[in-house]
Structures are given as structure tokens and as C-alpha cells.
């Protein structure tokens, strides 16, 4: 669990228009869009499918099951946007990306949004022409070591070799930690996740470092050998993991952000996929607006006023997504709980 966290109520402002040429077509800012007011939403509707960038190999976040269905919190984050934009959570094409090509995929228009356990940082938002629409998982950088190494804290790893994926915020976090504590380490940089984890298990490096959630899920997947691995208590950075879109299409940014807020609002009000239809005659204003029974919130986003209903009915509220995707891995919800349950997930008012 992170030692501290910030409430994600800050308003994100898309600052400039991004144009990119793709196969003769041009992606332009919202000011130049026709139809819905969003060039991206118009493209999504024209093809009848949302293109969503994911990792595709991370249990709990995005990993296909034996039937080929993509499961996980990041995958469900794509689905709620499809439910809002198209009225059908299944109209998603999952595009597997790597830590090296994920931003290029979004910048070029290969995907409409990126939901890939990506840390929200100033450099990424300031330099890439991309913007974070929400945080779906508050995390922090940690270390996984072998139990027989008898290491209790990260500060005991002076001179250690550490397995890290290149192109991630983990590189800087580990470097900062060692520099701050006047310690030395040797990074072992491997892009392929399976190869990286195999290098750690084989003893090529003394520790494996990435987001704490990923370390916990990796340890869980080791089955009977999980007890041979120890997740150190040190959390050395804040890693708010979120969903990204291109700058310049403000209406699409709004749609993606408010889709997530709708899932939080449903949880706050006790509305879930199982009891949703019992609220057909709801009297609570917040619930009525969420379900499109009054007001025109969807119209403001260029979509159906019942977008909140579609999200909850087809994907569930945020608690349902968490329980389906993260809880089975043994990871407590902690600071990812609602604000009124000791966490930092806070839904701005839908009104």
C-alpha cells in the first residue's frame, strides 16, 4: 500500500490540437470534427469498434483466457468506454502494445485510447501530445526477491542487479531510490516481460522491480512456488496508473473520463449490474442522472443519455470490476477503495 496518495479530483485540460496522417486519413482536433464534435468518436462509430491499446500479458489487468477473451481491469476499462460510445461493451478490438511502442500507437491513431497500466507523469503529459483521462489503479514501485536471499528491505540491496523493463517509469524510480540512498545497482533491462521474469527466476538478477500490483500478481501466478518469493515492504514511488487519449480532442477526453466516473458513481450509490433494473423508478437524483432517467448528460458528451446504464449493465460498477479482475489475485483494494471507505477514488458529481 502506498504511504501517501493524492485525491484525483484535479481537472485535466487538453491543451493543443494534434494532427496525424494515417493511411491518407487525417486525425484532427475536436474543433475540426464533424458530427459528434469528436473526431475520435466519429471514427469509432464509423468503424463500429473501439481500438484499445493494452499489454495483453498481465494477469489482473489484460490477459486472454483459454477462450480468447481478454480479461482484466485495463481490458474492462476499454469495455466501459465502448459501452458508452457504442452502446455495446463487446465492440472492442484489443491491440497489444509494448512499453516501447505504446505511446506511438496512440499518437499515430493505431488505437483510440491506451489502457496499459501506464503511470501518469508530467513528462509524459507534457511532451507526448497525450493526456491522462483517469487513474484506474493507484500503485507504487516495489521489489520482489528470492526468500533464500534473506533480504528484508530494499536498502540492503547495495550492489544488486535488478531486472527492469526499459521504457517504464520503474527505471527512473529505481535510479532515484539508489541515488537518494547513496547505493549502487546494476539494471538488467529486458523488454519482453516473460523473458524478464524468467531472468529473475533463473537468478540472473537479484531482484525484480516494477509496480507493486504487477509484482503481487506475478508472485501469485507462481502457485506452490509463490512462497519462495518475497515482496519487500518498500514502496519507493507513487505510480498512478491510468488511461490515455490524444490531446486536442476534448470531447473524446470527456467521454473517456466520465465513463470511468460513471462506474465510480454507480458504486457510491450501490448500483451494480445485478440490481440495476430495480432502480427503474429511482427517486435519488444522482441515480436518475446516472441511468439517464433525467437530464441530458450523455448528449453533452455526444452519446446516449443512458451511457451510465449501459456501462453498469454490461460491465459493472468499479467494485465489480475490481472483484472480478484483481481480488482473485490476492491484492487488497487498499487506497483504490472509494474515498468514503478509506481510499482515494472519488467521483466528481454527475450533474
> What are the residues facing 113 on neighbouring strands?
52
- pLDDT at residue 316 tops 90: yes
Query: What gap in Å lies between CA 60 and CA 331, rounded to an integer?
Result: 10
Q: What is the pLDDT of residue 34?
A: 52
Dump pLDDT digits (tens) for 91-135.
999 999 998 999 999 999 999 999 999 999 999 999 999 999 999
Q: For Cα atoms 323, 328, 330, give the angle at the middle one, nearest 5 degrees.
A: 105
Q: What is the pLDDT of residue 162?
A: 98
Query: CA dist 151 to 139, 188, 251, 270, 279, Å?
Result: 22, 19, 50, 44, 53
- pLDDT at residue 30 tops 70: no
Q: What is the pLDDT of residue 5?
A: 39
Q: What is the pLDDT of residue 24?
A: 37
Residue 332: band (very low, low, confident or very high) from pLDDT cuts 50, 70, 90? confident
Query: What gap in Å lies between CA 207 and CA 49, rounded to an integer?
Result: 41
Query: What gap in Å lies between CA 71 and CA 117, rounded to an integer?
Result: 14
- pLDDT at residue 32 tops 80: no
CATH code assigned to 141-237: 3.40.190.10
Q: Where in the chain are all domains bearing CATH 3.40.190.10? A: 20-139+240-341, 141-237
Q: What is the pLDDT of residue 150?
A: 96
- pLDDT at residue 2 tops 60: no
- pLDDT at residue 50 tops 60: yes
Phi-psi sector, 334: left (phi>0), alpha (psi -120 to 50), beta:
left
Dump pLDDT digits (tens) for 188-203.
999 999 999 999 999 9
Query: What gap in Å lies between CA 238 and CA 51, rounded to an integer?
Result: 28
In words, the CATH class of domain 20-139+240-341 is alpha beta
Q: What is the pLDDT of residue 132?
A: 98
Query: What gap in Å lies between CA 349 and CA 351, rounded to an integer?
Result: 6
- pLDDT at residue 314 tops 50: yes
Query: Taking all residues of the chain, what is their mean pLDDT, rounded to a whole number?
Result: 90
Dump pLDDT digits (tens) for 163-174.
999 989 999 999
Percent of the chain with pLDDT over 90: 85
Under 8 Å between Cβ of 231 and 216: yes
The phi and psi torsions of 127 (rounded to 5 degrees) equal -110, -20
What is the DSSP secondary-structure string of 195-264?
A: HHHHHHHHTSSSEEEEEHHHHHHHHHTTGGGGGGEEE-S---S-EEEEEEEETT-HHHHHHHHHHHHHHH
Amino acid at each position: 500500500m502506498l504511504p501517501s496518495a493524492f485525491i484525483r479530483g484535479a481537472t485535466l485540460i487538453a491543451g493543443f490540437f494534434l494532427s496525424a496522417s494515417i493511411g491518407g486519413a487525417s486525425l484532427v482536433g475536436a474543433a475540426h470534427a464533424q458530427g459528434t464534435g469528436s473526431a475520435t468518436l466519429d471514427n469509432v462509430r464509423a468503424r463500429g469498434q473501439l481500438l484499445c491499446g493494452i499489454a495483453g500479458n498481465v494477469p489482473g489487468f489484460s490477459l486472454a483466457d483459454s477462450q480468447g477473451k481478454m480479461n482484466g481491469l485495463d481490458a474492462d476499462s476499454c469495455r466501459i468506454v465502448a459501452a458508452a460510445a457504442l452502446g455495446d461493451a463487446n465492440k472492442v478490438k484489443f491491440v497489444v502494445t509494448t512499453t516501447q511502442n505504446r505511446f506511438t500507437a496512440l499518437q499515430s491513431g493505431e488505437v483510440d485510447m491506451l489502457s496499459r497500466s501506464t503511470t501518469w507523469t508530467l513528462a509524459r503529459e507534457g511532451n507526448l501530445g497525450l493526456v491522462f483521462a483517469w487513474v484506474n489503479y493507484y500503485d507504487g514501485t516495489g521489489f520482489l526477491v528470492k526468500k533464500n536471499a534473506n533480504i528484508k528491505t530494499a536498502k540492503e540491496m547495495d550492489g544488486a542487479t535488478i531486472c527492469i523493463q526499459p521504457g517504464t517509469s520503474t527505471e527512473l524510480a529505481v535510479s532515484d531510490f539508489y541515488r537518494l540512498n547513496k547505493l549502487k545497482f546494476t539494471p538488467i533491462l529486458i523488454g519482453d516481460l516473460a523473458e524478464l521474469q524468467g531472468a529473475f527466476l533463473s537468478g540472473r538478477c537479484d531482484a525484480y522491480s516494477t509496480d507493486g500490483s504487477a509484482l503481487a500478481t506475478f508472485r501469485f501466478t507462481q502457485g506452490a512456488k509463490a512462497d519462495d518469493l518475497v515482496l519487500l515492504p518498500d514502496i519507493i514511488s507513487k505510480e498512478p496508473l491510468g488511461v490515455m487519449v490524444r490531446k486536442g480532442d476534448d470531447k473524446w477526453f470527456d467521454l473517456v473520463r466520465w465513463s470511468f466516473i460513471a462506474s465510480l458513481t454507480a458504486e457510491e450509490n450501490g448500483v451494480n449490474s445485478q440490481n440495476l433494473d430495480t432502480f427503474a423508478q429511482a427517486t435519488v437524483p444522482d441515480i436518475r442522472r446516472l441511468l439517464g432517467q433525467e437530464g441530458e448528460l450523455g448528449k453533452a458528451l455526444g452519446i446516449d443519455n443512458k451511457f451510465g446504464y449501459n456501462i453498469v449493465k454490461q460491465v459493472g460498477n468499479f467494485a465489480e470490476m475490481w472483484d472480478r479482475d484483481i481480488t482473485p489475485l490476492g491484492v487488497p483494494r487498499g487506497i483504490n477503495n472509494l474515498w468514503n471507505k478509506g481510499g482515494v477514488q472519488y467521483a466528481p458529481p454527475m450533474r
